[in-house]
């Protein structure tokens, strides 16, 4: 049975948003990607408006629903997806709209600024709130889904760096760079702790549950997103350091990205094995399937950033390949979601008739 509209479903917005951004960004290498980016952006806005309206309607009917999503730790973790979904949609809007309709560029960046502000505040509150809940309490066995509320500040770091040139004053630009760097380290520190505990548990204590097989991809969100963030922040921070130090920032970003992507290789291998195990053994559909999209997208984004930072074409080729994997995963999740929602709707509509009979 699929859950009702709520935070658990915003993974679909995350995956759709980053797919729109990447298909537009890599459109020079992928035939047809420009048109696909527009389709994905429109789909993302429909998903966002539809999900938010449906969730708001649930809360209006039963105000206790909102409090329940905050008290229940597993559901609280999924609020991180709301933050990342909003951030991903804002970034996609600012990437796709100016490329197709230049006259709307300023409006697109304004929308991105609003969504970035909302997503960043929500992401920081979710990350800190979740971290506090973990301290000194029996919250059950560690799991990779604990990373969902931890990754949002890293997404804010990357998307915030993209916003810097579009601010009117230099002090505002510097402030945004500082905020983005703070978000980077907040997510990095919390992510290292949470994922180290989760990996230790699943590798040494108890295997990843079959139903949660796709959650093995969640830690890759930090790997790919932090690589992309390091590159984006290095570019923007160069405007606020001495000219002779600019090269050092680029070197540090390239070194960091190389280390993170290297560490990500065995994590990708493990996630692939877990996912294949899940499908082979009849893993039931859940909104968690969308974990196959956004983390993969962040790896693609990180590789693309490294291609620009290092000038190594191999990173760009790898980014194109990973983007194709992302699009395949998105299609898989979209079809599975439509089927599950349709089956749930049909089952719900028939239930009263069966009960009456």
Could you give the 3-state DSSP secondary structure of residue 135? coil
Query: Mutual orientation of helices 152-163 and 170-200 as an angle, nearest 10°?
Result: 160
**pTM of the model as a whole:** 0.94
Provide the pLDDT confidence category of residue 351 given band limits of 50, 70 and 90: low
Q: Are 25 and 101 in contact (CB under 8 A)?
A: no
Residue 109 CB contacts under 8 Å (≥ 6 apart), including other chains: 94, 98, 163, 166
Residue 101 has pLDDT above 80, yes or no: yes
Distance, in Å, from the CA atom of 250 to the CA atom of 113, rounded to the nearest integer, reads 26
- Residue 294: name the closest of 54, 15, 5 by CA: 15
Q: Per-residue pLDDT for 345 more than 70?
A: yes
pLDDT over 90 at 166, yes or no: yes
DSSP secondary structure letters along 138-153: ---S--GGGGTTTSHH
Max intra-chain CA distance, the chain: 81
Above 80 in pLDDT, residue 156? Answer: yes
Token pair of 186, please?
């907040």
pLDDT at 354 over 50: no
In order of 198, 275, 321, the CA distances from 268 in angstroms are 15, 10, 14
Residue 281: pLDDT band (50, 70, 90) is very high
Lowest mean pLDDT among 93-102, 234-243, 303-312: 234-243
Mean pLDDT of 249-261: 97
Mean pLDDT across 194-210: 94
Using CA of residue 338, residue 342, residue 343, residue 344, what is the dihedral sign?
positive
pLDDT (average), residues 91-107: 97
pLDDT in tens, 57-79: 999 999 999 999 988 888 999 99
Does residue 320 contact residue 26 with C-beta atoms inside 8 Å? Answer: yes
**Between 301 and 139, where is the model more confident?**
301
Per the CB < 8 A criterion, the answer to whether 187 and 222 are in contact is yes
70 CB-near residues (< 8 Å, 6+ apart): 76, 79
Q: What is the DSSP letter of 286?
A: -
CATH fold of 7-342 reads: Glycosyltransferase (1.50.10)
What is residue 357's predicted lDDT score, i.e. its pLDDT?
A: 36
Reported confidence tier of residue 32, pLDDT bands at 50, 70, 90: very high
Distance CA 42, CA 46 (A): 6
Q: Flag whether pLDDT at 352 surpasses 70.
A: no
SS3 readout for 161-216: HHHHHHCCCHHHHHHHHHHHHHHHHHHHHHHHHHHHHHHHHHHHHCCCCHHHHHHH
Residue length of the chain: 357
Burial of 64 (0-12, 13-18, 19+ CB in 10 A): exposed
> CB neighbours of 92 closer than 8 A, spacing ≥ 6?
16, 17, 18, 20, 21, 24, 37, 40, 41, 44
Q: Quick one: pLDDT at residue 137? A: 72
Mean pLDDT, range 250-256, rounded to an integer: 97
pLDDT at residue number 353: 45
Alpha helix positions (H), the chain: 11-25, 33-61, 64-71, 73-77, 79-100, 105-134, 152-163, 170-200, 220-237, 243-280, 294-310, 313-356
Alpha-carbon distance of 206 to 129, in angstroms, equals: 26
């Amino acid at each position: 049975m699929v859950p009702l509209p709520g935070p658990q479903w915003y993974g679909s917005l995350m995956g759709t948003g980053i797919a729109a951004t990447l298909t537009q960004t890599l459109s020079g290498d992928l035939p047809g990607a420009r048109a696909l980016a527009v389709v994905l952006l429109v789909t993302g806005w429909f998903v966002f408006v539809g999900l938010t309206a449906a969730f708001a309607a649930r809360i209006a009917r039963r105000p206790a629903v909102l409090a329940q999503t905050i008290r229940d730790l597993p559901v609280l973790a999924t609020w991180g997806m709301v933050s990342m979904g909003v951030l991903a949609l804002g970034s996609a809007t600012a990437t796709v709209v100016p490329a197709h309709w230049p006259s709307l560029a300023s409006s697109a960046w304004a929308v991105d600024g609003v969504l970035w502000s909302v997503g960043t505040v929500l992401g920081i509150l979710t990350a800190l709130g979740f971290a506090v809940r973990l301290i000194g309490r029996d919250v059950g066995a560690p799991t990779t889904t604990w990373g969902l509320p931890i990754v949002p500040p890293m997404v804010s770091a990357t998307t915030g760096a993209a916003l810097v040139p579009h601010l009117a004053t230099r002090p505002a630009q510097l402030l945004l760079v500082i905020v983005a760097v703070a978000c980077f380290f907040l997510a990095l520190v919390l992510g290292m702790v949470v994922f180290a505990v989760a990996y230790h548990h699943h590798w040494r204590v108890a295997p990843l549950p079959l139903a949660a097989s796709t959650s093995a991809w969640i830690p890759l969100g930090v790997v790919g997103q932090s690589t992309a963030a390091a590159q984006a922040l290095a570019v923007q921070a160069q405007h606020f350091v001495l000219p002779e130090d600019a090269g050092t920032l680029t070197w540090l970003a390239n070194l960091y990205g190389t280390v993170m992507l290297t560490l990500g290789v065995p994590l990708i291998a493990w996630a692939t094995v877990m996912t294949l195990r899940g499908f082979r053994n009849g893993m039931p559909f859940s909104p968690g399937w969308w974990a196959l999209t956004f983390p993969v997208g962040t790896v693609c984004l990180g590789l693309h950033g490294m291609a620009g930072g290092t000038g190594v074409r191999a990173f760009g080729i790898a980014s194109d390949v990973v983007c194709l994997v992302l699009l395949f995963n998105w299609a898989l999740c979209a079809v599975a979601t439509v089927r599950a929602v349709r089956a749930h709707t049909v089952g719900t509509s028939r239930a009263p008739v069966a009960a009456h009979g």
